[in-house]
Structure 1
Amino acid sequence: MLQINGHCTNSRPLDEREDSEPLIENDPIPPQCCSVRLSLAVLMFFGFSVVYALRVNFSVAMVAMVNTTASKPAPNSSVVHTCPPLPDEVNTTFQQLDGVPQYPWDLETQGWLLGAFFFGYLCTQIPGGYLSGHYGGSLFLGLGVLSTAVLTMLTAPAAQLGSYWLFALRVLEGIGEGVTFPAMMAMWARWAPPLERSRLMTISGQGSNFGAFFALPLTGYICQTLGWPAVFYICGGVGCLWAVLWFSLVSDDPRTHRRISEEERNYIVNSIGPQGQGHSWSVPIIPMILSIHLWAIIISQMCFNWSYYTLLTSLPTYMDNILHFDLKSNGFLSALPYLAACLVANASGFVADFVIARRVFSLTVTRKIFTLAAMLPSAAFLLAVNYVGCNHTLVVTFLTLSTGLGGIASCGIYMNQIDIAPRYAGFLLGITNTFGTIPGVLAPIVTGYFTEDHSLESWRKVFWLAAGISLFGSLFYSIFGSAKMQPWAMTEEEREEAEQKRIRSAST
């Protein structure tokens, strides 16, 4: 039996215990306030705020970069049916600053440019997760942010050279950023005590939604005051500054951190146990491929991400072409859903940890409840957008609720990898995120294809498709999802211990 601070852990098999009982029950827990583990979560929060700002600023800047006169269809086209201008609207056309270039990119070109990032993002998820799980995630997370920030500052020169050069640059940015989320998961496999996983991982991961919330309106403001090239120079510079702080303050493992207290270090190391060690070069690929529980995570993440990436990349275009908001309003209103998601997700993290600690439900049931509570209402509100026509207030409200409630999924499917295989959590996130990024490639292209005529009817097809895919994903996960630690994820020692407990339990 494992000894933790002088107390024995529960004698039930590891896979059952991981699903229904916390790893530590009665031992004192060092306060989270001002702790190193909370500081790590906060620093990660700002890191993911930066990387998502670097990702989404292009969506808003695209409105300023494109010569809309050249890219929109002729006014007399009979298929164009957008909403009427707002009552107090005088001129919503973006007024470009003198000397700032614009480009005659059509909707198809814009869709390819918006999706280019994800072509690169697909390539480094699995290698990043594999290497982070073996070596530790701090180096890969830091380099991922730094490389993306440096490349972002080259956006304006690349656009001047042509759309193909800009497409290639966005692909390279995706390659750099692709390692960040798997590296985060690999780090939390070593840093997050089981009873604090939901809140710590939610705090750090929700930097992505906060970054989208902050960057979208800021990008609109900078475009109108300084010109769109300034967006990429400013955001890239902030990313470089964050990287300096990260490499100065962070350690891969609590055992090697210079400023952690002995009490906190022992609590983290003992509560996580052997699963807090990095994995070897060999990983159980075949059992992973055959695991229906892993495929439940993969399928549901792909389905959820279709809606998320559709709005992330195309919502500013919808606000501009259909609802006719000016660029400043466009950025702010496009950002509201991500503020809502950030707040909802962080609240969900505390609720999930409370439910798990009090054993209200098993860990599997908890993950399924949070996943369904995210995906089903999100799909419903997305469909509701189709039935309010040009009511600007209701459209913005429903889009905000759809994305905001989606934040609940951060305590469901997006945490499930560390439940079923803590040792391989970074590698598994690389796998699931690779599949989950496919919608990031396809959704902007499909949206551009559907909305070539800029009509309200064509956008309804976009929302119907996203809602239907989300519904399918929620049902698939509710049937096949699990949070039990998988046998292939256990060490030899853990397997032997579990087998001994099973035999002892059967004999009694």
Structure 2
Amino acid sequence: MEQPDDSRSVDAAPSNESRDDDPLIRDVPVPRRCCSARFNLAFLMFLGISVVYGLRVNLSVAMVAMVNASQPAPGLNGSCPLPAGLGNASQKLEQPDGTPQYPWDAETQGWLLGAFFFGYMCTQIPGGYLSGRYGGSRLLGLGVLVTAALTLLTPPAARRGPRWLFALRALEGLAEGVTIPAMMSMWARWAPPLERSQLISLSGNGANFGAFLAMPLTGFLCQALGWPAVFYLCGVAGCLWAVLWFLLVWDDPRAHRRISKEERDYIVAAVGHQGGGHGWSVPVLSMVTSVPLWAIVVTQMCSNWSFYTQLTSLPTYMSNMLHFDLKANGFLSALPYLAAWLTATLTGFVADRLIERRALSVTAVRKLFTLTGMLFPAVFLLALAYAGCSPALTVAFLTLTSATAGTSGSGVFMNQIDIAPRYAGFLLGITNTFGTVPGVVAPIVTGYFTEDHTMEGWRKVFWVSAGVNLSAAVIYTLFGSGEVQPWALPREDEEAREGRTA
């Protein structure tokens, strides 16, 4: 009879020789999860990722208030008819007297919304390398702290002009770029293989939760206090989180001051030598020629296209085309991220359960959740393209798109730690660098398609996103893998493997 989770043991592999595609499994009791050091780390990391994504997305909603004067008149240029009783469009964006507004056109807005990613893509690989070499806790904390401090400068930068704001947002991206690779490097040391999906999902899903929280909160603050208050409050929140992080977090479970001996022994035994940092040199040539790694790179680029399109441009669509007021715009724009957060968190537990029970291999689990996270959103994006001016259908299809996309969180988005645990942070830096390209390009393309504010232009935006998603599904299904790659094994493991196959 199966024992409860708190007393369950991790069974040893059934054969005398462990397979390369098996997780690292040890015959060690599994300590309780509730209030454990590893799940406390996941929760604190979840809060930090929520903060940085809130800092990233707040401009998307605030932009609607910042450029209110430049919005087209309702009912013109192909937008939806103004709902009865709404009155003049200027009423929906009322702010306190004296709040500045700017006449930025759609192209300028697209560049400003994409500016963050110009900096973000530059520090992914250095951040992944340094966190893998030295540990990720300080790098992650500093990334959040500097991003939050720079966010406080947004209102004065906007007053000086779009070029100043573009430069500031690029600097914020430069600081934040180290955070996600540092997170993955930490989990290479902290996450037992049979808990990887749930721990990484719990922490990484701060991205969806941060977007969900920031959008309605930004809309409320813009109308209650004016859009500058958004950046002041978000910046302060990030600084406070960083203080907690530096006080409570350690890079390695062996150095943690408050972890139980039982939990420390479990993590160290389960992770094994794969949890150690890598040296100064990394097998770059082997990485460049690795087909499974390129499958992750291409799939993340394709998936991020639709994600970043929604993250940066959805509030503008809801406001300019469907004429939601700013409060409703923020709340309804946030619903898809709530759905994605719930789905991704749930599938993290399901994925680990499938691997633990050996119902599917790691490769099969990653492909299953990636496939569902690409195909279903493509279908709903095509439906969204023809939802027209129906607010109910628009919100429903957007929510279904994000909810089903959330399943890929247990697929391709944690695949780096499967194929190369020792280099997980460095690989995530590589894949995130490529994956950030859509963050730069998608808002600009969206601005180009929608410069006339027509529904036909937005239809092209959704068609392109759906097509890119379908491409990702095909590529990852053909070339993805969940096996530890030979070039990622420590030298002694590689020699032992060659001896077994000789």
* TM-score, L = length of structure 1: 0.94
Unaligned runs of 5+ in 1: 504-508
The Cα of 1:209 is off from its aligned counterpart by: 0.4
CA distance 1:309–1:12, shift in 2 (3 Å):
farther
User: Which residue in the other structure is 2:465 paired with?
Assistant: 466
The Cα of 1:86 is off from its aligned counterpart by: 2.7
CA distance in 1, matches of 2:12, 2:269: 11
| 1:370-449 matched pairs, under 5 angstroms | 370-449=369-448
- Larger deviation, residues 313-322 vs 400-409: 400-409
Are 2:182 and 1:214 equivalent residues in the alignment?
Answer: no
- Cα pair 1:13 1:499 within 8 Å, conserved: no
Identity %: 65
User: Which residue in the other structure is 1:59 paired with?
Assistant: 60
User: Which residue in the other structure is 2:3 paired with?
Assistant: none
- Cα pair 1:309 1:443 within 8 Å, conserved: yes
Deviations, residues 185-241 of structure 1 (Å, cap 9, x unaligned): 000000000000000000000001000000000000000000000000000000000
Deviations, residues 357-407 of structure 1 (Å, cap 9, x unaligned): 011111101100000011100110011012222111011100111012111
Unaligned runs of 5+ in 2: 1-8
Letter in 1 for 2:53: Y
CA distance in 2, matches of 1:475, 1:75: 41
Are 2:81 and 1:84 equivalent residues in the alignment?
Answer: yes
CA distance in 2, matches of 1:10, 1:208: 38
The Cα of 1:10 is off from its aligned counterpart by: 5.9
User: Which residue in the other structure is 1:155 paired with?
Assistant: 154
- Cα pair 2:127 2:426 within 8 Å, conserved: yes
The Cα of 1:499 is off from its aligned counterpart by: 2.3
- Cα pair 2:71 2:320 within 8 Å, conserved: no
Letter in 1 for 2:25: I
| 1:137-216 matched pairs, under 5 angstroms | 137-216=136-215
User: Which residue in the other structure is 1:455 paired with?
Assistant: 454
User: Which residue in the other structure is 1:40 paired with?
Assistant: 41
CA distance in 1, matches of 2:63, 2:438: 20
The Cα of 1:285 is off from its aligned counterpart by: 0.2
CA distance in 2, matches of 1:87, 1:291: 58
CA distance in 2, matches of 1:10, 1:284: 32
CA distance 1:281–1:25, shift in 2 (3 Å):
closer
The Cα of 1:497 is off from its aligned counterpart by: 2.2
The Cα of 1:22 is off from its aligned counterpart by: 3.9
CA distance 1:7–1:335, shift in 2 (3 Å):
closer
SS of residue in 1 equivalent to 2:122: helix
Letter in 2 for 1:85: L
Letter in 1 for 2:281: S
Letter in 1 for 2:79: T
| 1:330-341 matched pairs, under 5 angstroms | 330-341=329-340
The Cα of 1:97 is off from its aligned counterpart by: 2.0
Structure 1 segments of 4 or more deviating over 6 A?
5-8, 74-77
SS of residue in 2 equivalent to 1:147: helix
Letter in 1 for 2:384: V
CA distance in 2, matches of 1:196, 1:90: 54
SS of residue in 2 equivalent to 1:123: coil
User: Which residue in the other structure is 1:123 paired with?
Assistant: 122
Letter in 2 for 1:107: A
| 1:212-251 matched pairs, under 5 angstroms | 212-251=211-250
RMSD: 1.6
Deviations, residues 144-187 of structure 1 (Å, cap 9, x unaligned): 00000000000001011111000000000000000000000000
- Cα pair 2:299 2:476 within 8 Å, conserved: yes
Are 2:293 and 1:294 equivalent residues in the alignment?
Answer: yes
* TM-score, L = length of structure 2: 0.95
Are 2:475 and 1:479 equivalent residues in the alignment?
Answer: no
- Cα pair 2:386 2:459 within 8 Å, conserved: no
Are 2:363 and 1:360 equivalent residues in the alignment?
Answer: no
CA distance in 1, matches of 2:379, 2:11: 48
The Cα of 1:25 is off from its aligned counterpart by: 5.9
Deviations, residues 32-88 of structure 1 (Å, cap 9, x unaligned): 1110000000000000000000000000000111143x353x7796xx111122345
- Cα pair 1:11 1:501 within 8 Å, conserved: no
CA distance 1:261–1:455, shift in 2 (3 Å):
same
Letter in 2 for 1:136: G
CA distance in 1, matches of 2:44, 2:440: 29
Letter in 1 for 2:317: Y
User: Which residue in the other structure is 1:506 paired with?
Assistant: none
CA distance in 2, matches of 1:341, 1:333: 14
Letter in 2 for 1:454: H
